[in-house]
Amino acid sequence: MPEGHTVHRLARTFDTLYAGQVLRVSSPQGRFADGAGVLDGRRLVASEAWGKQLFLGFVPAGVPDPRPTASDTVWLRTHLGLYGAWTFAGAPDAPEVAHAIGAPRRRIGERDSVPPSAPSSSVTSDTWDVPEPRGQVRVRLLGEHAVADLTGPTACEVITADEKQAVEARLGPDPIRDDGDPEAFVARVGRSRVTIGQQLMDQAVVAGVGNIYRAEALFRAGVDPLRPGRDVPASSVRAIWDDLVVLMRDGADHGAIVTTRPEDRDAGRADAEGAHATPARTRQNTDGAPGAVPSDQAFYVYHRDGLPCRVCGSPVLVKELAGRNLFWCGTCQT
């Protein structure tokens, strides 16, 4: 499931491609025909992310900018879930954005899929041939010079402003958002007997954190993921929040999750002693990108079970916790 930084990148992409435009909205698959009918011919005026939820705000075409009042706006709410993805295509003169953001991981990975460089062409948005939908496209948004197709989402619905607020009220604070409330996060963790490892995956506790950020933030804080939340010092919980703010905003800016500090980016103690390099066990396709951290150097513990801890050399541990694999170092996280 894509983590929260991915959804914030989506919001930025929609803002770049479509802000202020009147869009043609359709449902090639047919399952969203009623919702598409409501949105078709409306102007996109807002693109927002909260955790793993994306909200696109639409107003009637005749409503001018700036952003109208809440009563004028209806919202397209989407949640990618395990299999959802947005795929973009545009005319050669369209702003450059990622080709696809979301699942499936075998095609896109933790980093956005980027299209090859477009050849020089005299084709413009006025003469651009819009590509046909590929696969089971739930909703298609067509603007002046780009098209976006959504496939395989867990949620895709039109909601009112009040319904949007109700969804947000059920979510925990989002470390990427400027209005994220660290004290609410600290308080929620501290009043629960549930392990902090489970709480970090609870979107009502903190929005947008997934399995990678969970494992990596706990390692960087030196916190045992199996410790009950109420037994973790509030200062440690606040430090986790502050670290998530930095890590997740960096992921939103660059389209890849990198949690290792530069001094720890060897391949582990075994390599320092002359053994063979540890294999890449993630699907984050950072390799080859200018200035990117190689995929086998990006994480401390995530998907590194059995490999030496980058800090102490102990084998990284793994166990199932609430249906998801949890990775941690039993020596560094005590």
Q: How many CB atoms lie within 10 A of CB 174?
A: 28
| Closest by CA position to 18, among listed 56, 75, 64, 67 | 56
Q: How buried is residue 19: exposed, middle or buried, by Cβ count under 10 Å (0-12/13-18/19+)? A: middle
Q: How buried is residue 93: exposed, middle or buried, by Cβ count under 10 Å (0-12/13-18/19+)? A: middle
Asked about 164 being catalytic, the answer comes back as: no
Question: Is the four-CA dihedral 285, 151, 244, 204 of positive or negative sign?
Answer: negative
Out of 9, 42, 43, 52, the active site residue is: 52
Out of 12, 105, 238, 324, the active site residue is: 324
CA atoms within 13 A on the CB side of 37: 5
Asked about 2 being catalytic, the answer comes back as: yes
Out of 2, 28, 153, 173, the active site residue is: 2
Asked about 310 being catalytic, the answer comes back as: no
For the chain, give the secondary structure using H, E and C.
CCCHHHHHHHHHHHHHHHCCCECEEECCCCCCHHHHHHHCCCEEEEEEEECCEEEEEEECCCCCCCCCCHHHCEEEEEECCCCCEEEEEECCCCCCCCCEEECCHHHHCCCCECCCCCCCCCCCCCCCCCCCCCCCEEEEEECCCEEEEEECCCEEEEEEHHHHHHHHHCCCCCCCCCCCCHHHHHHHHHCCCCEHHHHCCCCCCCCCCCHHHHHHHHHHHCCCCCCEHHHCCHHHHHHHHHHHHHHHHHHHHHCCCCCCCHHHCCCCHHHHCCCCCCCCCCCCCCCCCCCCCCHHHCCCCCCCECCECCCCCCEEEEEEECCEEEEECCCCCC
Residues labelled as active-site residues? 2-3, 52, 324
